[in-house]
Amino acid sequence: MLERLSRGWAITKASWSVLKQHPKLMLLPMASSLALITLLAIIGAGGYMGHKAGLFTQVLQADSQIPFGFYAVLFAIYVVCSFIIVFFNAAMVFCSLQAFNGEEPSISKGLATAMGRLPQILAWALLASTVGVLLSAVQEFLKDKLSIFGSLLGSLLEASWALVTYFVVPVLVVDGVNPFEAVKRSGAILKKTWGEQLAGQAGMSAISFLLLLPVFLLVVVAMITFKASVPVVGWMLAAAAVPYVLAVFLVFATLGAIFRTGTYVYATTGKAPEAIGADLVASAFRKKK
C-alpha cells in the first residue's frame, strides 16, 4: 500500500509539472464534463416532460413489458456519452504530445485533430459501449450462477478489457486506424513493453481518494446538521464540497490523460518525455514474472 501511494505521488507530481506549465489543458476535461452535463440535463428535461404528459404511462399500459425501443434509446445515450469522453480525450492526447515535444499546446488544434479522427472515435465509442454492455450482462449472469466467484470473474473480465484497451485513444490519434486494429495495437504495446498488470494508474487513484477523504467528513457533518434541524449549515457544507469534488475530478482526469500519453510515448519510441522520466514511467507497470 505504501509503495502504491509513493508511486502514485511521484506520478501525480510529474504529471502536475506538465499541467502547471500548461494549465489550459484543464479546459478539455472541463468542456467534456460540461457537454455531458448538458446532454444529461436535456435528456432529464425531456424525460420529465414526457412523464408529465403521460407518455411513459401510455407505453407501459400498451405493453406490460418494457419495449425494446426504450433499451435502444438508453444504449444510444450510452454511446453518445462515450463518444463525448473519447473525443475530448483524443484532443487531450494531441495537446499532451505537443507539450512533451516542447511545444505550446493548442486547444484548437487538439479539437481539430479529434474532428479529423471523427469516424474512428465514433466507431470506437460504439465498440466500447457494446463491449461494456455485454460485459455487464456477462457479469450479472456469472453472479447469478456462481455468486461471489461469478462477481470476481466478471470483474476480472472487465479489468482485462480496460487493460488491453489502455492505449486505444493514443493509437487512434497517432495512427488513425480502425478501433479493432487500435485494440490489437494497444494490447501488443502493453504486452511487449510491460506485461499485464497495470499499477501506476492505481497509485494515482489512491492519491485522489485521499484528497477526497475530507469530503466524506463534510457529508457526515452535513447529515448531523440536517438531523439537528440546522439545514442552513448542511447546505453550506454541501455547497463547499461540490466544487472541491469537481476540482479534484477534473485535475486528476487531466493528470491521468497526461501520464497515459507519456507512457504511450515511452512504449512506442523507447524514450520517456523529459517531464515524466523513464524510471517513473517504467515503474507504472508490473513486469511479468
For residue range 54-99, what is the model confidence (pLDDT) as tens digits? Answer: 655 555 555 556 667 778 888 999 999 999 999 999 999 999 999 9
Over range 195-203, report the average pLDDT: 56
**Predicted structure pTM score:** 0.83
Q: What are phi and psi of 197, to 5 degrees?
A: -115, 110
Q: Which of 4-8, 128-132, 159-163, 251-255 has the lowest mean pLDDT?
A: 4-8
| Cell numbers found for residue 265 | 510515448
Per-residue confidence (pLDDT) for residue 88, from 0 to 100: 97
How does the average pLDDT of the chain come out, rounded?
A: 83
pLDDT surpasses 60 at 195? no
b (16+ CB within 10 A) / e for 135-172: beeebeebbeeeeeebeebbeeebeebebbbbbbbbbb
Q: What is the pLDDT of residue 202?
A: 67
